[in-house]
Structure formats: structure tokens, C-alpha cells
Amino acid sequence: MKILITGGAGFIGSALVRHIIGHTLDAVVNVDKLTYAGNLESLADAARSERYAFEQVDICDRAALDRVFQQHRPQAVMHLAAESHVDRSIDGPAAFIETNIVGTYTLLEAARQYWAGLNEEDKAAFRFHHISTDEVYGDLEGPDDLFTETTPYAPSSPYSASKASSDHLVRAWRRTYGLPTLLTNCSNNYGPYHFPEKLIPLMILNALEGKPLPVYGQGRQVRDWLYVEDHARALYKVVRNGKVGETYNIGGHNEKRNIDVVHTICDLLEELAPAKPAGVARYRDLVTYVKDRPGHDMRYAIDARKIQRELDWAPRETFESGIRKTVQWYLDNLEWCRHVQDGSYQRERLGMA
């Protein structure tokens, strides 16, 4: 099987590419614009495979997408390309509307035209898998409530509203045109190769440098944490075995308050990196509470029983095992982090010194 993956140089996309190249016999066509969050260094091993191909293409560029479909002839599309940082969406929502809504529409139309030209057997086998987020559901009210596949949408940020819009487009293309679509909504991912602006890698790298660890409000926001390699396994199960037209929620069964996540990272660093920066007695002393961001949802939690029941998927990592692996990975890969922090990962892809 040949799978076209959009956003394959991003955090979740690169984990998916590494999983498919490393654990299956399938081929991957990685379509990525290479914005700031796209990092080809995350794919160094996968890129050596003859089953891997890369196309630097913007999903808003219809002509380029048509060429990619005709040249590579994929049997499935897994759509992960998206602007995804909530703070950035508050500061500048336009890029989120363009990529997440217009880009998804453009990709859907390119895929629909390609699919319509296939023979009947290939048309029946084709899949368009759209990867989304639990943030489209908004806030949970009760302490025991969970997001299910039928939870009404109530997005709170420009980011989540743009992802909700893309979800609606995918379902409409299924209903109106018959495009064989699947949709997944996941909880917060973490793990290796996560861009350092996100909570967990930011806390690790700031702590190692003796910088403040900024926590919104009092850090009482609750998230369900999903190890990215568990998510990659789930996504592959869905594109291979999921039922067309269905939605599957993917969660880690690991609800944690943000402040508890930060404290866990600090405690692991006490063990794994005891030689602290000058002037730092304890990593926890670096925690700094900052003004909460506008519209900040207080609690997300996924009910992932459907994918477990129907596709036999469950996370392998607990939060305790996954966060330890994550902290150790960053300690072992500080050069990758430095390349991101100083921007050299972008200069190298452009052939600059």
C-alpha cells in the first residue's frame, strides 16, 4: 500500500512516517510545506528507505497536489498538515484559516478528482483519513465527563474552530460526493521530536537552561496525555481497518493537571539531570505562574472505548512510562533541540550554510 501523508515532517506526522517505514511494508509519500514546525531531521532514518518519498508542497496549491496524486498514485491519504499551536492562533488566526480550512478543502478536491478517475476496485479500496483534535469539542463540565464520538462541537480558540471546520468539510465530502473518509480526534500528544514551543519540551529545555517554567493561571487545566508512538499505531489501524464514514476518538487514558505534568518533569530531571544550572537549587523552584490565555479550556478527556472495541487498539504507555522516555530522549538529543532553537534545521533544508 502507498500512503500519502500530509504534514509528515511535523511532530505527529513524523512519528506516523517512522512507524509505517519501520514496522510495515507500506510506502509513504510525505507531503509537507516545511513551515517552522516541519523538521526533516526527525525523519533521517525513514528517509533512507526506498519506500519513502518527499514532496515539498503546500496543501493550498491545487496544481502541485494534482501532480503529486498523478505521479505517486496513492491508495490512501492521511491528512495531518495543520497549524496547531493555540497561542499562535490567538496572535495570528489568518494562517490557521488558510491552512486548516482552505488547505483541507483544496486537498479534498484534489483527492476527489483523483479518486473519481480510479477503476472501481481501486475506488472501493481508497481511503481519506483526516486527523483532528479533541479541542473541537471545547470544555468538559463535569469531573467525570468524557468526549465521545458524538459529543457536540464547541471550539474555543481560532485553532480549534479551524479544525472543527475542517472536520465538517471532510464529513460533507463523504455525504455529498461519496469520498471514502475516516476521521479521528486525538488528545494531547507528547514524546520524542516535539517542537520546543509545546508544554512538555518547553519545560524540559527551559529547566536545563535554568529559565523560568511558565504555567498558565494556576496550572489546574486538565489534559489527557497520549504518547505519540501510541497515536501513530492507532492512526495506522484506522486507515487500514477502520470503517468508512466513522469517527474514532484516540486518547491516552492519562488525565493530568498541567502543574502536575510540570512537577513530574522537574522530579525526573532531578533524577536524570542532577547537575543543575548555576543558582538553581531545585528544578521546581523555576515554576512561574503567568496570566492565563484567553478562552483557555479547563478540561479535556477522551473516551477511547470505541477504537479499543472495534479496532483492538489501546495505549501501551502509561503517563509515567511515556514521560520518562520523553525526558530521557530530550536529554539524549540536545543537538536536535539546539538545531530547532537556533533555526539551523530550517537553513539546512534550504541548502544554506
Stated as kind and residue range, the H or E segment containing 114 is helix 104-116
Q: Using alpha carbons, select from 196, 218, 288 the residue that is nearest to residue 280.
A: 288
Residue 108 and residue 110: Cα distance in Å, rounded?
Answer: 6
Neighbours of 291 (CB within 10 A): 8
Amino acid at 7: G
Among residues 137, 159, 227, 283, the one annotated as catalytic is 159
Among residues 135, 167, 229, 297, the one annotated as catalytic is 135
Q: Enumerate the β-bridge partners of residue 133.
A: 186
Q: Which three cell numbers stand for residue 183?
A: 476521521
Q: Are 147 and 137 in contact (CB under 8 A)?
A: yes
Q: Are 17 and 5 in contact (CB under 8 A)?
A: yes
Q: Is 28 helix (H, G, I), strand (E, B) or coil?
A: strand
Q: Using alpha carbons, select from 291, 264, 147, 163 the residue that is nearest to residue 204.
A: 264
Rounded to the nearest 10 degrees, the angle between the axes of helix 258-272 and helix 319-332 is: 50
- 224 given a catalytic annotation: no
Residue 350 and residue 353: Cα distance in Å, rounded?
Answer: 9
DSSP letter string, 256-287:
EEHHHHHHHHHHHHHHH--SPPTT-S-GGGGE
SS3 content of the chain, % helix, strand, coil (to 5): 50, 15, 35
- 159 given a catalytic annotation: yes
Among residues 32, 58, 83, 134, the one annotated as catalytic is 134
Residues marked as catalytic = 134-135, 159
